[in-house]
Amino acid sequence: MKIPHLDWPLMRNNIIRDDLDQVVSFLAQDDPILTQSTNVREFENEWSDWLDVRHSVFVNSGSSANLLTMSALKHLYGDGEIVVPTLTWVSDVASVIQCGFTPVFTDIDPHTLGMDFDQVCAKISSKTRAIFLTHVLGFNALSQRLLDLLLEKKIPLIEDVCESHGATFAGKKLGSYGLMSNFSFYYAHHMSTIEGGMISTDNADLYEVVRMLRSHGMAREVHSAELRQQIQDDNPDLNPDFIFRYPGYNVRSSEINALIGRNQLKRLDANNEIRQSNFQLFLDNLDRDRYFIEFDTEGSCNYAFTLVLRYADDALRDGVMSALRSHGVEFRRGASGGGNQLRQPYLRDRINAGEWSQYPRVEHIHFYGFYIGNYPGLEEENILHLCALLNGVQGEKV
């Protein structure tokens, strides 16, 4: 079968004309407020309802959500270690370091690309302040064993759901299990606010801390009138409008970003159903002798096609890259975050030389794993063409 040029970018048709029309109508108002205001508050409320949590705080990126989550954890729980995955986005590990915690790494479970349960058990110590779990590329990385373990050990779970909007565990959305959860609305994700992120929690104390941290640490950002008054009473020498309770940040977003998010949220569930169907079609038609397809897809909501070579085969890997490039298919090698974070230069002065070799499962993903864009506008015929292309790779060198 002759495979056509597929013209397949990582993302297409996420922010659509209707989103832009909403922005145009908003800007056409007389003197619209552009910075954080009513639309931000409404987006936070609508997101909390969708996720089934009590509180959400909209910020300017998923990375900022990571940073504020770790900062709030530090203020309320103190110093210590955070158990983190080796396969994740850089800001998860960076936020741990930036807030003064020590990252403790684990290898992955190849069926979910999440953290290996046995290694999480082994890495927990008296210094552990949280488990920072990443749901990679739309997969659910939770298990009842993990939840039971953390409940027994009284260790909080932080969920990074930046790549897994709408994925579930036991019928409940990811991001509603942890003490706090982070989401990203970057352009390439399930839904987009151009740039943006969300922190969600059921914990009222953390909610108030995060609200303050978002806006310079200012006490006037507190939602609770009682807490706001208490802070003012504790600081009678200060102007109530300018009490900085914490050394915070400015990571607020805008009304325009929130407006796009509110409009996109309306079609998120329907688009996710298409993504799930696309991914299953992709897996069903891959050559299982060449490619690993035994992913745990129950509850998953994959915004990307995860492609992993079954065996360490340099010739096949190079042939796959050559075939994808020649047919106009954009891809990323190493899957989420460029592969094994322990190989990245920002960690070289924090780990022992060659430490990455102690994590063979993520090492395989680093060298023999890829992802390809998955979005609602894909045609079934092209997904089948992609599978035929991959199944026909002869293993030539690039």
d(CA 182, CA 197): 7
Q: Looking at 96-215, which runs of residues are DSSP E strands? A: 102-106, 128-134, 157-160, 168-169, 172-173, 180-184, 197-201
**Are residue 325 and residue 252 in the same domain, yes or no?**
no
Q: pLDDT digits over 280-326, tens only? A: 999 999 999 999 999 999 999 998 999 999 999 999 999 999 999 99
- Tokens for 376, please give them: 């609602």
Beta partners for residue 158, in sequence order: 132, 180
Q: Tell me what pLDDT residue 96 has.
A: 98
How many C-beta atoms surround the C-beta of residue 282 within 10 A?
22
CATH code (residue 56): 3.40.640.10
Domain identity same for 42 and 176: yes
Residues 320, 390 contacting (CB under 8 angstroms): yes
Element (H, E) at 83: strand 81-85
| Mean pLDDT of the region 60-67 | 98
Q: What is the pLDDT of residue 319?
A: 97
Domain contains 364: yes
Do 298 and 379 touch, CB atoms closer than 8 A? Answer: no
Q: Which of 259, 288, 309 is the last residue of a domain?
A: 259
The answer for residues whose C-beta is within 8 angstroms of residue 61's C-beta and 6 or more apart is 184, 186, 195, 196, 197, 251
Q: What is the DSSP letter of 38?
A: H
Among residues 259, 283, 318, which one ends one of the domains? Answer: 259
pLDDT at 12: 82
- 231 and 299: one domain? no
- The radius of gyration of the chain from alpha carbons, rounded to an integer in Å, stands at 22
Residue 11 maps to a domain: no
How many CB atoms neighbour CB 221 within 10 A?
20
Both 73 and 130 in one domain: the answer is yes
Q: Are residues 234 and 90 in the same domain?
A: yes
The enclosing domain of 347 has a CATH number of 3.90.1150.10
Each residue's pLDDT tens digit, 99-153: 999 999 999 999 999 999 999 999 999 999 999 999 999 999 999 999 999 999 9
Together in a domain, 228 and 336: no
**Could you give the count of Cα atoms lying within 13 Å of 53 in the half-sphere of its Cβ?**
25
What's the rounded Cα separation, in Å, for the pair 221 and 236? Answer: 18
Instruction: Report the number of distinct structural domains present in the chain.
Output: 2
- Give the pairing of strands 331-333 and 369-373: antiparallel
The predicted model scores a pTM of: 0.95
| Residue 10 resides in a domain | no
Tell me, yes or no, whether 206 and 338 share the same domain: no
Count of beta carbons in the 10 Å neighbourhood of residue 348: 12
- 240-292 pLDDT, tens digit each: 999 999 999 999 999 999 999 999 999 999 999 999 999 999 999 999 999 99
- Does an H or E element contain 347, and which? none
How far apart CA 103 and CA 197 sit, in angstroms, is 23
Structural domain that includes position 298 = 268-391
Instruction: Note the pLDDT tens digit of each residue in 156-175.
Output: 999 999 999 999 999 999 99
What is the pLDDT, as a whole number, of residue 396?
A: 52
- pLDDT of 397 strictly over 90: no
For residue 214 the two structure tokens come to 């978002």
Domain membership flag for residue 9: no
Q: pLDDT class for 339, splitting at 50, 70, 90?
A: very high
pLDDT digits (tens, 9 = 90+) for 23-43: 999 999 999 999 999 999 999
Instruction: Say if 398 falls within a structural domain.
Output: no
Q: 218-248, pLDDT tens digit by residue?
A: 999 999 999 999 999 999 999 999 999 999 9
Q: What is the largest CA-CA distance in the chain?
A: 78
DSSP 183-245: EE--TTSSS--SS-EEEEES-HHHHHHHHHHHBTTBGGG-S-HHHHHHHHHH-TTS-GGG-B-
Q: Half-sphere exposure of 340 toward its Cβ, with a 13 Å CA cutoff?
A: 22
Indicate if 163 and 290 belong to the same structural domain. no
Domain match, 49 and 24 both: yes
In a domain, 7, yes or no: no
